[in-house]
A and B are shown apart, each in its own frame.
Chain A
Amino acid sequence: MMAAICWASPATKEQGFFLMIAGRLLARGMIAGCLAAALAFVFARFFGEPQVALAIAFEAARSAAEGATPEPEMISRSVQASYGLATATVLYGAGFGGLFALVFSFAYGRLSFQSPRVLALLLAVAGFVTVVLVPDLKYPPNPPAVGNPATLALRTETYFVMIALSICVAAIACLIGQKVTQMRDAWTGWLCGGAVFILLVALVQFGLPDVNEVPDGFPAVVLWRFREAALGMQVVLWGSMGLIFGALATPVLTGRTQRS
């Protein structure tokens, strides 16, 4: 009985300690996501909103030419472009900040990167490529007036399927890359993982249905600038999230190594 208590006590203490570390990392991931989202909001406000306004002007001119009555404005454009955009961006940042922290907590000590800062930045780049860049290459962000409301359900479904498959493909490429690294060396491992990723992404994107719903006469430069701004906003968000999380996670993890 005494022996059992003596055995159990350090183990549960250790378990509780790791539980606390994981919780603190999750909280700091969400904080890092919120701070990064604030920066992304500023970027979107300056580079994205002018393009949204131009697209809405096109939409209004088109419906006026068709003689349709303009839709009633439930929430004013200025609220949508300020508080609405800020809320959406912060929710998005906190959401992906949490998921990012969970992936980081699993990867730390399991991948061959000593520094929490380096690992955080690397995972942020990987997250951006997997969750944003690859899905957006197949289904790029669209401004208002682009897209047929009748196909919204199908487009939403294929978009989320694309993100899910992209995450699966990244996990497969990561496992293969790590296996090859253990058998050969890191260089060959990265090359094999990268090649598998590109090949599987190409197959998935070839297999999913195409969407082509840009209306006639929509200015090409507005579409291009809007997509540039949308991608730039994500670069700001994921880049700063990786850097901020690295800085916030380091004290949590070095505190642990000092204690053990």
Chain B
Amino acid sequence: MMHPSSSRARAIAAPAPVAIPVGALLPWAVFGLLLSVLMLYFVGAEQGAVSLISGHEVHEFVHDGRHLLGFPCH
């Protein structure tokens, strides 16, 4: 008598989500953390309070983004 639509049937039958084990997450976490922090560093702090590359080009190029994204700029 009842013909549940396929999407509805799948929603009910969907099994509980399985957690990704920490062991499988760890290598990606190290890689992702390093990459993300490096990108955020160049937007937020390079050639401002700290400077790895001499000059002001990086600071000047990301200047407006640094202000609008809330980092102290100068």
Interface residues of A (CB under 8 A from B): 15, 18-19, 21-23, 26, 29, 44, 48-49, 52, 74-75, 79-81, 83-85, 87-89, 91-92, 94-96, 98-99, 101-102, 105-106, 108-110, 114, 116, 132, 135-136, 139-144, 147, 149, 152-153, 155-157, 159-160, 226, 229-230, 233-234, 253-254, 256-257, 260
CA distance A147 to B49 in the complex (A): 13
CB pair A85–B56 under 8 Å, yes or no, is no
Interface residues of B (CB under 8 A from A): 14-25, 27-29, 31-33, 35-37, 39-40, 42-45, 48-50, 56-57, 60-74
Given contacts A106-B25, A152-B74, A256-B18, contact A229 B32 (CB under 8 A): no
CB pair A102–B17 under 8 Å, yes or no, is no
- Chain A nearest CB from B23 CB (Å) reads 7
CB pair B40–A152 under 8 Å, yes or no, is no
CA distance A153 to B63 in the complex (A): 17
CB pair A110–B56 under 8 Å, yes or no, is no
Give the most central of B20, B25, B29, B35: most A CB within 10 Å: B20
CB pair A156–B72 under 8 Å, yes or no, is yes
Contact partner, A91, options B21, B23, B43, Cβ 8 Å: B43
- Chain A nearest CB from B3 CB (Å) reads 22
CA distance A21 to B18 in the complex (A): 12
Given contacts A80-B60, A95-B37, A230-B69, contact A101 B20 (CB under 8 A): no
Residues of the A chain whose Cβ atoms lie less than 8 Å from the Cβ of B23: 15
- Chain B nearest CB from A33 CB (Å) reads 9
CB pair B36–A98 under 8 Å, yes or no, is yes
CB pair A89–B65 under 8 Å, yes or no, is yes
CB pair A95–B14 under 8 Å, yes or no, is no
- Chain A nearest CB from B22 CB (Å) reads 8
Could you give 5 example pairs across A and B, Cβ below 8 Å? A19-B27, A105-B28, A149-B74, A257-B17, A260-B15
- Chain A nearest CB from B65 CB (Å) reads 2
B27 closest partner in A (C-beta)? A19
Given contacts A102-B29, A152-B49, 10 further A-B contacts (CB under 8 A): A18-B25, A81-B64, A84-B60, A84-B61, A85-B64, A91-B40, A108-B20, A114-B17, A155-B49, A156-B48
Residues of the A chain whose Cβ atoms lie less than 8 Å from the Cβ of B43: 88, 91-92, 95
B42 closest partner in A (C-beta)? A91
B61 closest partner in A (C-beta)? A84
Given contacts A26-B32, A84-B64, A102-B32, contact A156 B71 (CB under 8 A): yes
Residues of the B chain whose Cβ atoms lie less than 8 Å from the Cβ of A22: 20, 24-25, 28
